[in-house]
Amino acid sequence: MMSFEEIKEKEERYSTGVYPKRDIVIKKGKGAYLWDINGKKYVDCVGGHGSANVGHCNPYVASAVKEQLETLTSCTEIFLYEKRALLLEELAKITPTGIEKFFLCNSGAEANEAAFKFARMLTGKNEIIATVKGFHGRTFGALSATWEKKYREYFYPLVPGFSHIPYNNLDALKEAVNENTAAFIIEVIQGEGGIRIGDEDYLRGVQKFLKEKGVLFIIDEVQTGFGRTGAWFASDLYGLEPDIITMAKSMGGGIPVGAMGIGANLENVKKLSHGSTFGGNPIAVASSLAVIKFIKDNDIINKTKELGRYFIESLKEISSPLIREVRGKGLMIGIEIKTKATPFLKKLADQGVLALPAGRNVLRFLPPLVIEKDDIDFVVEKVNKVLKV
Ligand SMILES: Cc1ncc(COP(=O)(O)O)c(C=O)c1O
């Protein structure tokens, strides 16, 4: 077994340096917990950046993937495959009304790339409107929809035809849409942008306006999907029915997978206009089916709703002059503080709680949805402790 120093030295020497790494070597995970190489246990509110909704080493996923590894590991979409057929059917059942067909891929950025390509192909128009503080991934199309300067500045020229308007501002959308607009993309809750929640009136107004104008409504549910907000998709919280929905992260229970879902009217789709070698691969398909079954069998959606309410209410009871606001839906929670978040994340980790930043001054909590009430009490106690001044 290598020491902490040896592992750190090798990662620093052989990786590109794009990731700011924390001084913690993770050894194993189970449910909502992670352990480091010294045996220290953490309550994991990073949750693989929101990809661990069903928990680390989920037993449904583990047994589905083990079985799949011994049955079939490669089967591209030029062939038919039973589990893929079942997954597509399940996705049609759990996604909002109107979403009926899916393009399977491997990540959130790829799901959004597919969304933009389909939006252009279906409408024959080329402009995509996105939002200030929106995050949609880092490949060129997805990055062009992503707002934050630090992700974009070294990579110009980006894809032409993308623009950004203020979030939660319907008038800005009305002004921005023109005869070349193919689609508007939004997160129901901006994750990376600081756990900023879309107003119900705004989101419904957006949907109504886009329908009137014949502009496609794309909802990016990469972070909010698969139970995270106490609903299968955050769109369900407001009865939204997007024309296109994108998902990834927790869909595969730890296995890389993503999907773009779209309505049934795909007359303009051309054969071979899009594709992916690993899209719809048997391992990702088996793990995604296991995730959906686990969520259903264990009533995870309702439990998340309740636990989320409890977590948010408990955090709101903390009295600290540093806290500006506690906000969230389900187990997608942010604490906006009056100063930089990162030093507090380090203090929390020392106390056995792993959490994320969102923007400069928001502490973000995306625990596995299998977290227990006692663990939430533990996290709240530690947040209280580190935010005491
Ligand atoms: C809302 C949203 N969209 C897209 C992405 C990109 O997903 P991926 O990192 O899988 O490409 C993310 C990742 O954080 C996200 O939060």
Query: Which pLDDT score is estimated for 264?
Result: 80
Residue 312 CB contacts under 8 Å (≥ 6 apart), including other chains = 326, 327, 328, 333
- For the question of residue 296 being annotated catalytic, the response is no
Residues having CB within 6 Å of any atom of ligand 1: 49, 107-109, 112, 135-137, 187, 191-192, 220, 222-223, 248
Domain boundaries, the chain: 92-273
Per-residue pLDDT 10s for the chain (389 aa) are 999 999 999 999 999 999 999 999 999 999 999 999 999 999 999 999 999 999 999 999 999 999 999 999 999 999 999 999 999 999 999 999 999 999 999 999 999 999 999 999 999 999 999 999 999 999 999 999 999 999 999 999 999 999 999 999 999 999 999 999 999 999 999 999 999 999 999 999 999 999 999 999 999 999 999 999 999 999 999 999 999 999 999 999 999 999 999 998 888 899 999 999 999 999 999 999 999 999 999 999 999 999 999 999 999 999 999 999 999 999 999 999 999 999 999 999 999 999 999 999 999 999 999 999 999 999 999 999 999 97
Residue 124 near residue 113 (C-beta atoms within 8 A): no
Q: Tell how far the Cα of 249 is from the centroid of ligand 1, in angstroms.
A: 7
- Across-strand partners of 213? none
pLDDT at 383: 98
Residue 389 has a pLDDT of 78
92-273 is classed in which CATH architecture?
3-Layer(aba) Sandwich (3.40)
Q: What are phi and psi of 263, to 5 degrees?
A: -70, 180
The verdict on whether 365 is a catalytic residue reads no
Residue entry with tokens 């001084």: 23
The residue type of 134 is G
SS3 (DSSP) at 194: coil
What whole-number distance in Å separates Cα of residue 88 and Cα of residue 86?
A: 6
**Could you give the CA distance from residue 350 to residue 22 in angstroms, rounded to a whole number?**
11
220 is catalytic: yes
- Closest ligand 1 atom to residue 224 Cα is 1
Within 57-199, residue ranges assigned H as helices are 59-69, 82-94, 108-123, 140-145, 149-152, 170-176
The whole-angstrom separation of Cα 228 and Cα 43 is: 17
